[in-house]
Structure 1
């Protein structure tokens, strides 16, 4: 392979490949970078509210609010979260030139999150329905918020380490 009429030496070719790999890992790190701060806060609040909302929807009788109100809250907050997610993804793409991607994140972290968080959120609502004790919902809210903060900090560290 020639560059500007000058053949590459093996060392130059290896250096070019290393530079290419560095660019790929930097792009992966950027796409794995945490959400904008405002969205991280929104996501944490949303995740912390879900157990309480699910508990209200699944309660045997009206708990704090009528069941249709809980359903309405769930639909409105989910729609708002989806819209804010789209805004955050677009803003991040415009700022960095890289789309937010979950597939570049470490599987050892994302798989337990993808399995454990839904179990926590829905399981606490079932536990509340069976026992009638809101402590299940409060505990799940606190744990969910902690998980959100923990993952955000892990993504910040991942980004700083590879950038």
Structure 2
């Protein structure tokens, strides 16, 4: 087989096939997780937006928008997130026949996450109010996104190990 006038060795061809198989296995593992990809993306976007909207609400004086607009955004986004959480849980139940249980996840990961992530996301708003520097909000947003992606990838790995 020739590609652009260059002949591949059998070892190169096998390596390319192994890479293709690795990508296929990764995609299969990702699609096997209980959280649909659309919900993972929604959750990550919610986590990214929360420090900024909460910081806007906490700002003194008003920052970019009136305080009532920030509150409306916070309440609306929380309601949409919770509704989509219910939809994702029902989709998992329909797919597997069992209810989604978060208590089966490793406590060494979930306990720090359930304590640390809210402190990070809400604490950034208080830090912004105290200092007036929006860097706190954007840093918390980026860290929250990294935590969301990392937790999702760890969950994919955990789920892949489950028969």
- TM-score, length basis structure 2: 0.79
1:67 and 1:84 map into 2 onto residues whose CA distance is 26
1:85 equivalent in structure 2? 85
The alpha carbon displacement at 1:62 in A equals 1.0
Misfit runs of 4+, over 3 Å: none
Gaps of 5+ in 2: 1-32
Conserved 8 A contact 2:34-2:92: no
Gaps of 5+ in 1: 1-32
2:146 equivalent in structure 1? 146
Please give the residue correspondences for 1:1-163 in structure 2 after superposition, counting only pairs within 5 Å. 33-163=33-163
2:65 and 2:143 map into 1 onto residues whose CA distance is 24
The alpha carbon displacement at 1:61 in A equals 1.2
> How many pairs align?
131
Q: Deviations over 1:14-34 (max 9, x none)?
A: xxxxxxxxxxxxxxxxxxx44
The alpha carbon displacement at 1:42 in A equals 0.2
The alignment yields a C-alpha RMSD, in angstroms, of: 0.8
Conserved 8 A contact 1:34-1:155: no
Conserved 8 A contact 1:51-1:124: yes
The alpha carbon displacement at 1:85 in A equals 0.6
- TM-score, length basis structure 1: 0.79
Q: Deviations over 1:5-62 (max 9, x none)?
A: xxxxxxxxxxxxxxxxxxxxxxxxxxxx441100000000001100001101100111
